[in-house]
Amino acid sequence: MTSSVFDCERLLFTPATPKHDAIPVIFAFPNEYTVGITSLGYQVVWATLAMRDDLQVSRLFTDIREQLPRHPELLGFSMSWELDYVNIFNLLESLEIPIRADSRNQNYPLVFGGGPVLTANPEPYAEFFDVILLGDGENLLGDFIDTYKKVRNADRETQLKTLAQVPGIYIPSLYVIEYVTPDGEIKSINPISAEIPPIIQKQTYRGNTLSASTVVTEKAAWENIYMVEVVRSCPEMCRFCLASYLTLPFRTASLENSLIPGIERGLKVTSRLGLLGASVTQHPEFTELLDYIGQPKYDDVRLSVASVRTNTVTVKLAETLAKRDTRSLTIAVESGSEKVRKIVNKKLHNDEIIQAAINAKAGGLSSLKLYGMVGIPGEEAEDVDATVKMMEGIRKAAPGLRLTLGCSTFVPKSHTPFQWFGVNKQAEKRLQLLQKQIKPQGMEFRPESYNWSIIQALLSRGDRRLSPLLELTRDFGDSLGSYKRAFKQLKGQIPDLDFYVHSNWSTEQILPWNHLHGPLPQSTLIKHLAEATNLELNHK
């Protein structure tokens, strides 16, 4: 089974032949192969490592693995989904490596991690990693390997202290966290000695050649897809949005030097193309990109586009997608209420949403998916009614277009202006209300589980005190009930669920990630928070 899965891969890079003294590395994705190989981040990091002749790289997934080295020196995890920590524990145990970093000595590999989850807030997982890479891998990865090579034969303490000097490399064990009380706020976060930097700055790649698939396979969750990153970050800066704030500034791939060569490379091996990015249609040359993909020589290409900005949905875009075998388009509207959209800084009006639906239908698309959210700070019951009215308005304006509203609960994310807000306890009721009003009208409603949002909020705002909790929940199963059971068991030793999930935090408070800096200073986030709060007050 194993070899046949890897045999299906068509590589778009040439792996190096490792030198005799190459460093044995395991690079893992803590989920099944079909999920991991569909992650563009995982693909790109794997290829970057595999193209170095000073490394011998083997891949590891939860269901299959390549031939692994007997004594790996480095073991890396790419973490894209919060709950995958359970699989990280399982994989470490399967390799007979202690789960906690402080139980590992010189005989074990250095366990490093990166990816969106760890860059956003690594603290709940900090006890399990020796090394965490914060930010874009383009420069960081090379700096990490090159520095490790210098201390390859040193003792573990020297290795960690040397790696801590590299910008963007975070060594959790070299920082001491004190709390006001065991179940209270954080009192201070300090490095263990003067030689360790007190602040770690997330690393940002500023080039205009962005990522593209390094492997295409029919075994991927999106079969045979070749992915191209069109933009990175998003210029809109909706105040809850991690994808925008954490990855600033907004960068666009060069059409001539990155996108077109990338697409040509990929379409030699497959006819399925995915354009990725938080706001793909805001690429300044998106129309030219569509023209390029619209050429007759690409008539057999199936095109998928990530979520697009509502007011960029033109008839031409819809026609190009329809001609390229896409039936549906996804737009994020957040809410049907103009007031709520103003609070989150979503620059969008209802007439633009309706126009997008009309254009989608006119261009030949058969369905439109809208993404909304409940529980946004400042939202009232009437704002939820406004979302129902918006959906009714779209149905009337574009009859025959299949409409789906996907809806999640607001979850506070680190490094955004809304990181200080808790989850609204009314959100679950509001999801049920939308379900009751939208479904009977023949529109589809897809709510994200409220309980999953609670767990997500816990992990996105958590600190190191959660590590015993995560170990317990693994034994109890990863349902909300198992988290509540674990909190009960640890009562008095760590804060309660409410502290992490539902409390509004003070801007004076020390946040778990205070020593880990994103693209914008805290003072700017507080300013953006104040703008949102003023808007909310003005509407009352």
Question: How far is residue 308's CA from residue 290's CA, in Å, rounded to a whole number?
Answer: 14
Measured CA distances, 221 to 34, 35, 216, 400 (Å) = 5, 6, 11, 30
Residue-wise pLDDT for 280-306, tens only, equals: 999 999 999 999 999 999 999 999 998
What tokens were used for 352? 């633009």
Contact 135, 113 (CB under 8 A): no
For residue 540, pLDDT over 70 is answered with: no
For residue 339, pLDDT over 70 is answered with: yes
- Mean pLDDT for all residues in the chain: 95
The mean per-residue pLDDT over the stretch 190-218 comes to 96
Q: Which single residue is written with the structure tokens 């190009």? A: 320
Contact 147, 162 (CB under 8 A): yes
Say if residue 176 is exposed, middle or buried (CB neighbours under 10 Å; 0-12, 13-18, 19+): exposed
Say if residue 272 is exposed, middle or buried (CB neighbours under 10 Å; 0-12, 13-18, 19+): buried
Cis-peptide into 109, omega within 30 deg: no
DSSP 464-505: GGGHHHHHHHHHH-SSHHHHHHHHHHTBTTB--HHHHHTPPP
Collapse the DSSP code of 109 into the 3-class scheme (helix H, G, I; strand E, B; otherwise coil) and give the result. Answer: coil
Of the candidates 264, 146, 148, the residue with the CA atom closest to the CA atom of residue 213 = 264
The mean per-residue pLDDT over the stretch 203-213 comes to 94
Of the candidates 81, 167, 136, the residue with the CA atom closest to the CA atom of residue 248 = 136
End-to-end CA distance of the chain: 62
Across-strand partners of 26?
58, 75
Greatest Cα pair distance in the chain? 70
Q: Check residue 277 and give its pLDDT.
A: 94
Collapse the DSSP code of 169 into the 3-class scheme (helix H, G, I; strand E, B; otherwise coil) and give the result. Answer: strand
The mean per-residue pLDDT over the stretch 65-74 comes to 97
Residue-wise pLDDT for 111-129, tens only, equals: 999 999 999 999 999 999 9
Residues in contact with 195: Cβ distance below 8 Å, sequence separation at least 6, in sequence order: 161
The mean per-residue pLDDT over the stretch 446-453 comes to 95
Neighbours of 175 (CB within 10 A): 20
What tokens were used for 56? 């011998």
The mean per-residue pLDDT over the stretch 330-337 comes to 96
The mean per-residue pLDDT over the stretch 376-396 comes to 97
Q: Which single residue is written with the structure tokens 């909304």? A: 372
Q: Check residue 1 and give its pLDDT.
A: 45
Contact 168, 155 (CB under 8 A): no
Q: What's 281's DSSP letter?
A: G
Residue 400 — very low, low, confident or very high, per pLDDT cuts 50/70/90?
very high
Question: How far is residue 374's CA from residue 427's CA, in Å, rounded to a whole number?
Answer: 6
For residue 433, pLDDT over 60 is answered with: yes
What tokens were used for 226? 């070749």
Q: Work out whether strand 251-252 and strand 231-232 pair parallel, antiparallel, or are unpaired.
A: antiparallel
List strands edge to edge, sheet with 444-447.
328-334, 367-374, 402-409, 444-447
Q: Check residue 536 and give its pLDDT.
A: 67
Question: How far is residue 118's CA from residue 123's CA, in Å, rounded to a whole number?
Answer: 8
Contact 343, 378 (CB under 8 A): yes
Collapse the DSSP code of 172 into the 3-class scheme (helix H, G, I; strand E, B; otherwise coil) and give the result. Answer: helix
For residue 318, pLDDT over 80 is answered with: yes
Measured CA distances, 473 to 9, 269, 396, 478, 488 (Å) = 36, 43, 47, 6, 12
For residue 415, pLDDT over 60 is answered with: yes
pTM score: 0.96
Q: Check residue 226 and give its pLDDT.
A: 97
The mean per-residue pLDDT over the stretch 492-512 comes to 97
**Full 3-state SS string of 227-279:** EEECEECCCCCCCCCHHHHCCCCCEECCHHHHHHHHHHHHHCCCCEEEEECCC
Across-strand partners of 538?
none
The mean per-residue pLDDT over the stretch 425-451 comes to 96
For residue 449, pLDDT over 90 is answered with: yes
For residue 336, pLDDT over 80 is answered with: yes
Question: How far is residue 322's CA from residue 520's CA, in Å, rounded to a whole number?
Answer: 39
Contact 133, 148 (CB under 8 A): no
For residue 2, pLDDT over 60 is answered with: no
For residue 459, pLDDT over 90 is answered with: yes
Collapse the DSSP code of 76 into the 3-class scheme (helix H, G, I; strand E, B; otherwise coil) and give the result. Answer: strand
Question: How far is residue 123's CA from residue 285's CA, in Å, rounded to a whole number?
Answer: 39
User: What type of residue sits at position 428?
Assistant: E
Phi, psi for 166 (deg, rounded to 5): -80, 125
